[in-house]
A and B are shown apart, each in its own frame.
Chain A
Amino acid sequence: MAHSNWAEWIYLGVVTALLVYVGAEAWNVERIIDHAPEDAEIIKVTAQQWLWTFEHEDGTKEVGELHLKKDHAYKFELTSKDVIHNFNIPEYVVLLDAVPGRVNTVWFSPNEVGEFDIQCREYCGLIHYNMRALLIVEDV
Chain B
Amino acid sequence: MSKIFQLSIIIVTLCIIPTISLVFAAETAGEYIDRKAEIWNLFFRMMTIAFVVGGVIAGTMVWQVWRFRESNPKSKPTPYEEKGEL
By a beta-carbon cutoff of 8 Å, the part of chain A in contact with chain B is 1, 11, 14-15, 18, 21-22, 25-26, 29, 31-38, 71, 73, 91-94, 107-109, 111
Contact partner, B36, options A18, A35, A93, A107, Cβ 8 Å: A93
Tell me if B32 and A109 are in contact (CB < 8 A): yes
Interface size on B, residues (CB 8 A): 23
Interface segment among B2-10, B46-54, B65-73: the answer is B46-54
Question: Residue on B with the closest CB to A72?
Answer: B32
- Set of chain B residues within 8 Å of A108, measured between Cβ atoms: 35
- Set of chain B residues within 8 Å of A31, measured between Cβ atoms: 24-25
CB distance from A81 to the nearest CB of B (A): 27
Q: How many A-B residue pairs have CB under 8 A?
A: 58
B16 interface residue (CB < 8 Å to A): no
The answer for the CA separation of A36 and B29 in the assembled complex, in Å, is 6
Contact partner, B25, options A34, A92, A93, Cβ 8 Å: A34
Interface string of B21-57 (1 = CB under 8 A from A): 0001100111111111011101001100100110010
Given known A22-B46, A29-B42, A93-B40, contact A37–B35 (CB-CB < 8 A): no
Interface pairs A-B: 8 shortest CB-CB: A35-B30, A38-B29, A29-B42, A108-B35, A93-B39, A93-B36, A18-B49, A109-B32
CB distance from B43 to the nearest CB of A (A): 10
Contact partner, B49, options A22, A73, A91, A93, Cβ 8 Å: A22
- Set of chain B residues within 8 Å of A35, measured between Cβ atoms: 28-31
B79 interface residue (CB < 8 Å to A): yes
Contact partner, B39, options A18, A29, A36, A73, Cβ 8 Å: A29
The answer for the CA separation of A31 and B22 in the assembled complex, in Å, is 11
The answer for the CA separation of A32 and B56 in the assembled complex, in Å, is 31
Tell me if B28 and A109 are in contact (CB < 8 A): no
Interface contacts beyond A29-B38, A32-B38: sample of 18 additional A-B pairs, CB < 8 Å, sorted by A? A15-B53, A22-B46, A25-B42, A26-B42, A33-B33, A33-B38, A34-B25, A34-B30, A35-B30, A35-B31, A37-B31, A37-B32, A71-B32, A73-B32, A92-B35, A92-B36, A93-B35, A93-B36
